[in-house]
Amino acid sequence: MNRRKGEEQTLFTAAPLPVATFDASERLACLRLIRSENVGPVTFRELINHFGGAEAALAALPELAARGGNKRRIRITPRPDAERELERAAKIGATPIFTIEPGYPPALASTDAPPPMLYVRGQSDLLTRPTVAIVGSRQASAAGHKLTRQFAMGLGKTGYVIVSGLARGIDAAAHEATLDTGTIAVVAGGVDIVYPPENAKLTDAIAEHGAIVSDMPPGFQPRAKDFPRRNRIIAGIALGVLVIEAARRSGTLVTARLAGEAGREVFAVPGHPLDPRAEGTNGLLKTGATIATQASDIIEALQPLSGLAPNAAFAEQHPAHAWQPPAPAPPPLLGESDRQRVLSALGPAPIDIDALMRATDLPPRALNVVLMELDLAGRIVRHGGGLISRRPE
């Protein structure tokens, strides 16, 4: 469909977001809950939904963990520790945004287990605009750098914010090309930690003109095992992921896989068969990725998602923007036999909630409470896609 020039400027303007009530005490309680023992993204969400707020959930943690079989008192993050974390964030200009607040990235919130909180250093409004991720080789070729700039600038001028991982090579080129139009760097460490060191000037520029995002506290030094978590955020925050140069085995392909699992469009730039930096991208194209040779390929493919209202594709799935604390409901009456039924139905092989419900004959709400208890007691493992297994004892 053809559009007049004036109409194109409105296609990627974020719709106004409703304001949810979220005071300082509830913010502090949310952080304490997130940092407490055995409280992962899914359990955080279930606790908030079940108890109507973080303060009530915190008060219930010891009893829930004990009922789940925890033989020692569960560790709850002390209030002073959470206060110090928020104070350190404030000193470096980082803002915490929780999934139950306006401003949390709507695409990321629609994923299976979004991080309960993100720290944002810089322009937080970028998080609610339509986003495309550009990722690729750290050892990028000159052609790869040129292609990255062309794609990033073309997408940026259209209205997309470019997200990447602030690594060497393709990531850095994508950020540099979109400092004026909007760029988001998702990092594995704290938003105040510069990594790699040679990107120090770029990091400062992004903090001033774009946004640096992490789900880890300020001061956290990244480890090798933290980068897949960063890659999951990159994949989830974007409407689509473009891969430019990737070796056959690389973290870039992990991001592409996670994007596919999250239902995102994966684009790849074809490369020369003899170039090892093209093995990954060519492999993606063989397995169903969309070929992209210019920015318009991506713009056309993503237009239905990012059209007149960039957040429309995820608005119904995103509870944050319309969240109001529900009134706490009385807990279902559960006995030890109910918990044993769930444990007996679980094994080392992950199964989904529906299968577990059929196997235990428990109603959904009762099953959710049992799973919260067992999770807090460290007796189950939550996998991607809503799958659950029993933790070996």
Domains within the chain, CATH numbers bracketed: 121-315 (3.40.50.450), 336-390 (1.10.10.10)
Residue 179 is given by DSSP the state T
**Residue 103 token pair:** 């401003």
What pLDDT does 391 receive? Answer: 87
190: pLDDT strictly greater than 90 = yes
Q: What would the pLDDT profile of 134-150 be if each residue is shown by its tens digit?
A: 999 998 888 899 999 99
Tokens 């990627």 sit at which residue? 12
pTM (predicted TM-score): 0.81
Q: How far apart are CA 265 and CA 256, in angstroms?
A: 9
Residue 358 is given by DSSP the state H
| Mean predicted confidence (pLDDT) in 227-250 | 93
| Mean predicted confidence (pLDDT) in 102-126 | 93
What pLDDT does 8 receive? Answer: 37
What pLDDT does 334 receive? Answer: 64
Q: Residues of 67-98 as b/e, b for ≥16 C-beta within 10 angstroms?
A: bbbbeeebebbeeeebeebbeebeeeebebbb
- pLDDT band for 101, please (50, 70, 90 cuts): confident
User: C-alpha angle with apex 129: 282 to 233, nearest 5 degrees?
Assistant: 55
SS3 269: coil
372: pLDDT strictly greater than 90 = no
What pLDDT does 137 receive? Answer: 92
Q: What would the pLDDT profile of 36-90 be if each residue is shown by its tens digit?
A: 999 999 999 899 888 888 999 999 999 999 988 888 889 999 999 999 999 999 9
- pLDDT band for 326, please (50, 70, 90 cuts): very low
